[in-house]
A and B are shown apart, each in its own frame.
Chain A
Amino acid sequence: MLSTLTALKPRALLLQLLNFALVLSTAFMMWKGLSVASNSPSPIVVVLSGSMEPAFQRGDLLFLWNRNWREDTKVGEVVVYNVRGKDIPIVHRVVRKFGGGETPLQLLTKGDNNAADDTELYARDQKYLNRKEDVIGSVVGYIPFVGYVTILLSEYPWLKTAMLAIMGVTVVLQRE
């Protein structure tokens, strides 16, 4: 199989590799474009836990919007936030809000399926979320279940390698 690659002249090999590089870079830049439009570092997230059932299930794909043009985030809105010092985004509903306007807007969140609010989940000594610093967006749309692929990919990391390898091989070997 690889003989087809090594048989290529350097120029043809560069063109062939470019195909693969362009597929990856275009996907990345489209993601970044969406980030810019929604003003969110991560405009699409996957629900990883059942804490928001029955509103959202594990594997649902959520679309986020992080601009408050007309009004501030309201109680009842579902937001995604990052806990300071941790890297996992959490999708929960706003149950209380404080401040806003001149003072920084602060939110208290709770999972629909959880018994208690999120103060336990927040960083040490943090009682509220800072809308501007902690929240990465409000949920504006979702597609059920399709995000399950990423759950599988993160639970079985070898799948990621396998997928990337298959993608690479097909793009590099396939011509037009």
Chain B
Amino acid sequence: MSSEGKIAVYSLADLKTTTDDILPTYLTSLHFTPTHTASTIRLALGYSAVLLAAALFYFDYTSGWATTAPYTLPAVLVYFALNGAYTAWIFIVERGAVFEGVGPQGERVVVRSRSRKNEGVYFLKIEITGAAGKGMKEIDVEAPFTRWFTRDGQIVPKPFQQWLASSVDVVGKADPTNVVEDIGRGSSIEEKGTASGVNIMGLPVERMGELLGGAVKTGGGGKKGKR
């Protein structure tokens, strides 16, 4: 990433993580309150493993193998148990969560993002649980990254916000001004017709989505998702 915040548009990881970064910022600005429980547990698991290894390293460095040998096996077992718990936490509990929190109406919202290999599409799974803890609802939405990235790799938040507000009702209710029929057209940048609003192939944004969607079908899916 360069200092101007541009990314290489060929890097799917960059496209995804940059988008992952603006998503919580947007939701927080709409008075969604993030909860940090999941990442706190992840940090606790990870750092306790690291601290254990550091302690063994220090003990071993100062006292030598003859002294540390009896403690090494338990330390190794506990380390890999913690490391396994950390990995399980990421893959089973967090599952690519980029936002976890409480919406303006008191509903619990979890947003998980995903992208697939060789596919320039951003997949979101949004889990919404009502304020009283009843009625879990899952929404799956997807959109090509070209909607909110310019051809030179600059992210444009407006079309992203419009897409999210238009396709997820909880977000739409919190930000009605961004609910539009024609996503990606309402942004002021594109209305002015500046270069940064034109996407990679110079096609209208909607057509771009069709093209990408088509390529996906013929390309044959079945590839495991990247978290």
Write the residues of chain A forming the contact surface with B, with a CB cutoff of 8 angstroms. Answer: 3-4, 11, 14-15, 18, 21-22, 24-26, 28-29, 32-33, 35-36, 41, 174-176
Contact = CB atoms under 8 A, between A and B. Distances in A.
B201 interface: no
9 contacts: A15-B43, A15-B46, A21-B47, A25-B50, A28-B56, A32-B60, A36-B72, A175-B13, A176-B13
A28 B76 CA distance: 10
Contact of A28 (B17, B39, B47, B57): B57
Given A28-B53, A175-B17, 8 more contacts: A3-B3, A11-B36, A18-B47, A22-B46, A22-B86, A29-B53, A33-B80, A36-B73
A33 B65 CA distance: 13
Nearest to B49: A25
Contacts of A174: 13
Interface string B71-86: 0110110011001001
Contacts of B54: 25
B65 A35 contact: yes
A24 B3 CA distance: 29
Given A14-B43, A18-B46, A41 B76 contact: no
B95 interface: no
Question: From DSSP, what is the main secondary structure of chain A's interface residues?
Answer: helix
Interface string B24-65: 000000000000100100110011011011101100100011
Contacts of A176: 13, 16-17, 226-227
B92 interface: no
B83 A26 contact: yes
Contact of A29 (B3, B43, B76): B76
Nearest to B87: A22
Contacts of A3: 1, 3
A21 B57 CA distance: 13
Interface in B73-127: 73, 75-76, 79-80, 83, 86
Given A3-B3, A4-B1, A18-B43, A36 B76 contact: yes
Nearest to B36: A11
